[in-house]
Structure 1
Amino acid sequence: MGYDVHQLVEGRDLWLGGIKIEHSKGLLGHSDADVLIHAICDALLGAANLRDIGYHFPDTSDKTLNMDSKIILKKTMELLADKGYVLGNIDATVCAEHPKLNPHIPAMKTCLAQVIGCDEDQISIKATTTEKLGFTGREEGISAYAVALIAKK
């Protein structure tokens, strides 16, 4: 299981699931702050007992500064393959009040499947709000949860 959260701020692009989404705010982070990809990477790394995303891609490194999260996901898949694992499936949920994400889910699935090297049917992405409750409801940030199933080759 993976979880990530990033603060929404002005002056940043909003990247979710590897695609740029038009919005008045973007996510603040050391990399491009794609919470969906970060949650997926943590789920994959955890399932393979490979620690977490911060261990492999620290937010204190110049190498990861402004890094495209698709690169992080690609390298995560390489770490899994090196340990003899293949992807079964991913189930993820993004929590955001705005923008509305459902129209973007097909493009996210296509992008992620291409990066991972899997079939789009192996990736489930859902979007929800928090009914205006908490930091997500106040539109201060976006969070994402992911669960990944992997298997030995």
Structure 2
Amino acid sequence: MAAHSACDALLSAAGLGDLGSNYGTSRPEWAGAAGVALLKETASRVRAAGYEIGNVSIQVIGIRPKIGKRRAEAERVLSDAVGASVTVAGTTTDGLGLTGRAEGLAGIAVAMVYPMA
């Protein structure tokens, strides 16, 4: 979920659509692909479109998004895939909505991209 959020943020920031338009059901070669593989390909597409990636910030949202023990590992793996700094944070929703009822997690990401000179 974190990698998918990062993909959507990067694609959107570069004006390249979203996950569905890039890797959706009409592209069976991406069916079942790992999030990190999608993220690596997305970073490549962003650069091919003429942008460099400054950084990506991801927030994992859930009733108990206990990411502290694996935060450093997640940031390293995701940063390696992107080729730029990726940070991960966790937050709760104080019992509100599907995340608050522990029915799922949500991820929000923001990416900074800038035109290559």
Equivalent residue of 1:103, what SS?
A: coil
Q: What is the CA–CA distance in structure 2 between the aligned matches of 1:60 and 1:152, rounded to whole Å?
A: 29
> What code does the residue aligned with 2:102 have?
E
The structure carrying a bigger helix percent of its residues is: 2
Aligned to 1:151: 114
Aligned to 2:44: 78
Say which of 80, 101, 114 aligns to 1:114. Answer: 80
TM-score, with length taken from structure 1:
0.70
Q: What is the CA–CA distance in structure 2 between the aligned matches of 1:43 and 1:97, rounded to whole Å?
A: 23
Q: What is the CA–CA distance in structure 1 between the aligned matches of 2:82 and 2:106, rounded to whole Å?
A: 21
Equivalent residue of 1:67, what SS?
A: coil
Runs (5+) with no aligned partner, structure 1: 1-34
Say which of 134, 141, 151 aligns to 2:97. Answer: 134
Percent identical residues? 31
The structure carrying a bigger strand percent of its residues is: 1
Aligned to 2:24: 58
> What code does the residue aligned with 2:97 have?
G
> What code does the residue aligned with 1:147 have?
V
Q: Residue by residue, what CA displacement relative to the aligned partner does 1:15-63 show, whole Å, maximum 9, x if unpaired?
A: xxxxxxxxxxxxxxxxxxxx11111111101111101111011046432
Aligned to 1:26: none
Q: What is the CA–CA distance in structure 1 between the aligned matches of 2:8 and 2:90, rounded to whole Å?
A: 19
Instruction: Check 1:59–1:98 CA distance in 2 against 1; reply closer, same or farther (3 A cut).
Output: farther
- Give the count of matched residue pairs: 116
Match status 1:104 vs 2:104 = no
TM-score, with length taken from structure 2:
0.90
